[in-house]
Structure 1
Amino acid sequence: MNRFPNPDDLLVLLTVARLGRFTAVAEALETTHTTVSRRISALDRQLGGRTLARTPAGWELTDLGRHALRAAESIESSLATLKSEVSHRGEAVSGVVRVHVSDAFGAYIAGPAIVDLQRDHPRLKVELLSATRRASRNRSGVDLEVVAGRVEDSRAEVMVLCEYTLRLFASPGYLQEQGRPTSLSDLGRHRFVSYVDSELQVAELDYRSTGLPVPSAAFQATSIFAQLQAVRAGGGIGMLPSYVVHGDPDFAPVLVDSFGRSVNYSALARPESLRAPGVQAVIGAFLAETRRQRVALGS
C-alpha cells in the first residue's frame, strides 16, 4: 500500500458490510452498482488484498475487510461529531436505514415510532418493507429485520423487543348470529379466519399449533389486514394480535379465560449494522413505542 486508502471507499465498504448487497448499497448511496463495485476494487488495490468475499448470504467481510471496517466506523463517527458541532442542532443521525418488519408491527408500532424519531432527526430516512415471515437466512439488502416468533439464526445479533398476546376475536354481529362459544371445544362448529396454511412461515401464528380444535376455515388470507376486515365484517372468529384491536368495539374477545398465546417480536441485524447510529436510533424508537403500548400488547 503506497498511500492511505480513500475515505469515501472505506465508507462504501461500511455500507456494504451493513447491507450485504451492491444493488442495495447503490440505492442507499444514490449511485450505481458499477460505481460501488469500482470503489471496492479501488480499496482492495490500496489495501493489497480482498476486503469482501461473496457468500450465499451476500457479501461478507474478510479478515482484511474487518480491519478496514474499524477505520471506516471511526471516519463515520468523526464526521457525525463534526457535523453536530458545526450545525449546533444535534442532528447527528442521518442517512438511510432499511428495515423489514412483519405486517402488524410495521403498521401499529414501527410506523408511529419512526414518525416520532424523524421529528428529532429529520435527515434520517427509513425505508419500511413489510411481510409476515420467519427470520431470513439471507439478510442482504436490509439493515434491520423484525420478526414474530422463535428465532434460530446464529449469524445475526438478536434482540427481543417485546412480547405480545394473540387472542380470539369475533365481531359482535357474528356472535349475536352464531352464538358465543363457551368452551374451546365449541370452536369446531364456528367459522374461522386465519392465515393461508400453505403460505404461513411462522408457526406461532398458526392456529393448528395451538392445540385448539380444528375449525372450519371459512376465510384465509396471507395478510393480517385482510383477516382483520373479514373478522370485522362477521366472517368468523380470528386469532389476532390483541394490540391491533385494542379498544375497538368492532372486535369482541372470545374465551379470554381459556385461550391466549404469547409471542415475541425480535430485531435481527448484522453486527456491522448494529453499530450504525441510524440503526441504533431506530431500535431505540421501536423499544420506546413498545413500552408506550405495553398495556395493549399484553391485553
Structure 2
Amino acid sequence: MDLRRLPRPDDLLILLTVARLGRFNAVAETLGTTHTTISRRILALDKQLGGRTLERSPHGWELTDLGNEAVAAAEAIEGTLGALANRITQSDDALSGLVRISTPDGFGAGFVAPALVRLQRAHPLLNVEMLSATRKVSQNRSGVDLEVVVGNLDVSNAQTIFLSNYFLRLYASPQYAEDRGLPLTLDDVRQHGFVSYVESALQVAELGHRSTQLPVPRSSFQATSIFAQLEAVRRGAGIGLLPNFLVVGDPTFLPVLPDDFQRQLPIWAVARSESLRSAPVQAVLEAIRIEIADRQAVLAG
C-alpha cells in the first residue's frame, strides 16, 4: 500500500469537524489553530481525494458526495482512535473531546447547565462550552454542535428535536403589589410598569411584549438578559413577562392575572446530522432530555 496516496487522517478529522460546525472559524477555535490552516488542510485533502469535499451554501459549508464518503471514513477513524485512547488510559469512558452548545440563558442556567454538570461527573474527559444566546435558530449553523432554541422554527439542512413546552406568564413582586396594586383586567396593565426583553434587539418575537397584544404600559424596563428582568421585577420595576420555570415556587414573585394570560412556547434542539452521529453530542442531548423529564412539573407549573 502506497501511504503517499492515502489522505491524511488528521485532515479527514478536520473535515469531520467542519461538517459538524459548518464554519472554518469555529473549527479553528475548537482545534486551537487558525482559519488559514483549516482552509489549507481542506484544500490538501481535496487534492489527494481528487475533488471537492465541501461547497459553500447560505447555511455554511456543506458536504459534497465525495465529502460524505470522506466523513464516513473520518467517523470510523474517530471511533478507532477513541477506543485506542480508552485502552491506553485503561478507561471504559468513550466520551471525550469538546461539545459546544448554544442555549437561551434562562433555560441554559435552569436545565442545560445541570444536565452538563451531571454528564461531566460521569465522563470527566468530556469538555463542554455553553454559549448563551436568545435568538432564532441559526441558518448558517453558528459554529456549535447543538443549538437549543425557543419559538417557531424555520430550519433547513439541520435536524430538529422537540424537547418540551414551557409558559410565559405575568408576575410582580409582593412589594410592587403593595405599593401599586395589581391589575384586575388585562386592559389595566396599561397603568403599570412592564418588564421584558429589549424589543429592538429581540430575535424571538414571541418573547417580547409587542407580540402579546397587551396594552402599551405606562413605563417599561427592557433588558436583553432574562436574569436582569427577574431582578427588575423582584425590585419592583413593574409586571414582568417571565418564564414560569424560573419563578415557580419563589415567594418573591406573585402571579398576575394567571387565568387571563399565558403563552406556551416550544423548546427545540437543532443540529447537523453529522453532529448528531457524535457520541458526545448524543450524550449531551440525552442528558438534557433526562433533566427535562425529571423536572417536567417545573416547566408545566
Provide TM-score, normalisation by structure 1: 0.94
Counterpart of 2:226 in structure 1 is: 224
Distance 1:197 1:31, change over 3 A: closer
CA deviation after TM superposition for structure 1 residue 86, in Å? 5.0
Partner residue, 2:296: 294
How far did 1:155 drift? 2.1
8 Å CA contact 1:2–1:46 kept in 2: the answer is: no
Instruction: State whether residues 58 and 139 of structure 2, in contact with CA within 8 Å, keep that contact through their aligned partners in structure 1.
Output: no
1:55 pairs, out of 36, 54, 57, with 57
Distance apart, 1:84 and its partner CA:
3.8
Summarize the alignment of residues 141-290 of structure 1 with structure 2, pairs less than 5 Å apart. Answer: 141-290=143-292
Indicate the RMSD between aligned Cα atoms, in angstroms. 1.7
Match of 1:75 in 2: 77
Decide whether aligned partners of structure 1 residues 217 and 268 sit closer, same or farther in structure 2, where only a CA change above 3 A counts: farther
Give the equivalent residue in structure 2 for 1:98: 100
1:23-50 Cα shifts (integer Å, max 9, x gaps): 2112211233333223212211221111
How do 1:1-16 and structure 2 match up within 5 A? Answer: 3-16=5-18
Alignment partner of 2:213: what SS?
A: coil
**3-state SS of paired residue (2:189):** helix
Q: Once the two structures are aligned, what percentage of the paired residues are identical?
A: 59
In structure 1, the gaps of 5 or more residues are none
- Whole-angstrom CA distance in 1 between matches of 2:294 and 2:180: 36
Alignment of structure 1 residues 23-38 onto 2, 5 Å: 23-38=25-40
SS of 1:91's equivalent in the other structure is: coil
Give me the whole-angstrom Cα distance separating, in 2, the residues matched to 1:66 and 1:238: 48
What secondary structure does 1:272 align onto?
helix
Structure 2, unaligned stretches of length 5 or more? none
Q: Distance in 2 between matches of 1:271 and 1:156?
A: 6
Q: Partner residue of 2:128?
A: 126
Q: Tell me the distance in 1 between the aligned counterparts of 2:205 and 2:36.
A: 41
CA distance in 2, matches of 1:40, 1:197: 41
Deviations 1:52-79 (A, max 9, x none): 1223432221111011111111222223
Matched pairs, number: 299
Shift of 1:85: 4.8
Distance 2:32 2:76 in 1: 23
1:286 and 1:115 mapped to 2: Cα distance? 11
User: Which amino acid counterpart does residue 163 of structure 2 have in structure 1?
Assistant: L
